Amino acid sequence: DTGVSQNPRHKITKRGQNVTFRCDPISEHNRLYWYRQTLGQGPEFLTYFQNEAQLEKSRLLSDRFSAERPKGSFSTLEIQRTEQGDSAMYLCASSLTSVLAGAGEQYFGPGTRLTVT
């Protein structure tokens, strides 16, 4: 298994443009998370999926943000009408949840660094 992968690794866009990021989790993992990290801070939770169902969204996830996990495998995070404040590292993680293990250990991808000019 190659771990969690994210594409693209870097994205530079102009304010007002839409961007989409992709995350491929570890294949047998049923839970997928999105986080945002700004400079000097720890990652902040955005949303997570259990299989294809989006179960929780943070208040950080404004209506310009949308995430999908259509077949319970890869996920996409789209930001519409980007703003300079959206500049950050967007991290994806996955875990294997079970009744016995609970939420399970999270494994992170390398992140997508977004710069909005």
Partner 1 sequence: GIQVEQSPPDLILQEGANSTLRCNFSDSVNNLQWFHQNPWGQLINLFYIPSGTKQNGRLSATTVATERYSLLYISSSQTTDSGVYFCAGENYGQNFVFGPGTRLSVLP
Binds partner 1 by CB under 8 A, chosen from 36, 61, 111, 116: 111
d(CA 96, CA 77): 21
Q: Which is nearer to partner 1, 30 or 37 (CB)?
A: 37
Q: Which is nearer to partner 1, 15 or 101 (CB)?
A: 101
Tokens read off for 116: 């909005």
Smallest gap from Cβ 57 to partner 1, in A, equals 10
Count of CA atoms in the C-beta half-sphere (13 A) of 7:
2
Q: Which is nearer to partner 1, 70 or 102 (CB)?
A: 102
Smallest gap from Cβ 13 to partner 1, in A, equals 19
Tokens read off for 89: 């590292």
d(CA 101, CA 8): 32
Tokens read off for 43: 């990652």
Point out which residues bind partner 1 (CB under 8 A): 33, 37, 41-45, 56, 58, 89, 91, 102-108, 110-111, 113
